[in-house]
Structure 1
């Protein structure tokens, strides 16, 4: 925000404007291991003149800038770039050590705060049946090692149908059964490859229209 003030000096009235930036809560950003991080200012415009910029991870400097050249620090040397015109910070080849709170400051005060989470690429999941041998009703679970993936969600597909969200899939006997099921998982960054399609454990080819029993499926959401 901008504050405007009027003061009296040497028999004249003078008007001045002062920039104030109110700090906001930190925004969480997710990036994949080994990829590039980009953080930007959290203010509408870049005030002028800018004569000091710093990005920090926690209390440690990532980069500092005065009207000359930026100086980079520690493990960020050689893989970090600051754009002094836009205040944008880029860090390449992310590691788990790059997790943490990043804060931007200029000579006008705090200009952005981010909680950075570095996560693994999503693995291809697999489908497990519970119980292993089922007769009338089965539960299908989409499973994968979710360590260091951040929050995940799951999607299911029946044969060549549309993807629908859900943690589990219930399979029961009714009509027009799908033959196969696929699942995939989603991280805050992207969606995994689909699992290998799993045969419907209750599917039985119907030779004609005489069979009344068939299969119904339902997605279970938490």
Structure 2
């Protein structure tokens, strides 16, 4: 998943990244409203972890902007303010969950998984298509019950394709998922698609290229 963390405390931001990135997530961290606002305008994210007290204003302002614009991305508020009135204000502003500092990483991870599961209308954490299965809780991908040892970007690509199984996974969204705001060469995505294709040969699943649009994970009748 591609996660956006808006947190001005570098130690907390590092802790969040450490807890969420190893599970196959691409994590983008910004410390100010202005930066987060620009990131959301530029890219799509699967979930936002949002601090309320930021150097250039309240995270609730950004939350209300997100919802006013029709963006339904799950948002978890993360803050040291634990009074009931503050929680009500956050939830009424459009937050999907609320976690107070200090927090435990296992609880954070579980809440993130629950929000993603709910937003994708899944009954469990796993993404499945035919013989393929990806478990975000462990970061494991299996093919016909056998574990595939995928490096991070191949894992991110597999997840992006599974999220759009039998539908087109837009090329630009896949590039964002794999490379974030980093530099990506003109053929960088195709390199990883080619590597995954080789892993899927003979499995009954293939990656189809739709020129100018993206890629689609589909059954392979061959």
- In the superposition, the TM-score normalised over structure 2's length comes to 0.25
If you compute each CA radius of gyration, which structure gives the higher value, 1 or 2? 1
Tell me which protein shows more strand as a share of its residues.
1
- In the superposition, the TM-score normalised over structure 1's length comes to 0.25
Tell me which protein shows more helix as a share of its residues.
2
